[in-house]
Amino acid sequence: MTTRILELTGGKGAEYVFDAVAGPGVVDLARAVAADGTLFLWGALSGRPTPYPGFDLGMPALNMRTYTMLEIATNPQRLRRGAAFVASGLRGGAFRPVVDRVFPLEQIVQAHQHMESNTQFGKIVVTTGR
């Protein structure tokens, strides 16, 4: 993956890299971050310790930080700005949500079973009928 990112960016690397897995693979992923770029860790799906990759990579100009949606959700001003950004993207067509399947609330068990099957591509939507 790192090689492909560097190819696509002409060797420069990506300005922003988001990682939901973390763990030891963060070192390789950090190789794909541009100088002065930022590596955002927003999950820890690997369940393994995550090293600081700067040491293994010779101390490049790498910004690394964690991110949670609480940074926005608990700040009313940022939440309003975020909601306006998403709404604008949806209205203008820049954001096109991919919906795998829609379930009525009465089929919540089936919706969970579908989610647990890991066969979906896109979002699973549960509606209340309102």
For 61-80, how does the pLDDT look when each residue is reduced to its tens digit (9 = 90+)?
Answer: 889 999 888 989 999 999 99
Domain with CATH 3.40.50.720 in the chain: 2-70
Architecture of domain 2-70: 3-Layer(aba) Sandwich (3.40)
Backbone angles phi, psi at 100, to 5 degrees: -75, -50
Q: Which stretches of the chain are assigned E, i.e. beta strand?
A: 14-19, 33-41, 63-66, 99-104, 123-127
pLDDT at 130 over 80: no
Cβ-contact 103, 127 below 8 angstroms:
yes
Whether the pTM exceeds 0.75: the reply is no
Q: What is the mean pLDDT of residues 29-57?
A: 92
What SS3 class is residue 126? strand
Q: Which of 64, 83, 51, 69 is nearest to 18 (CA)?
A: 64
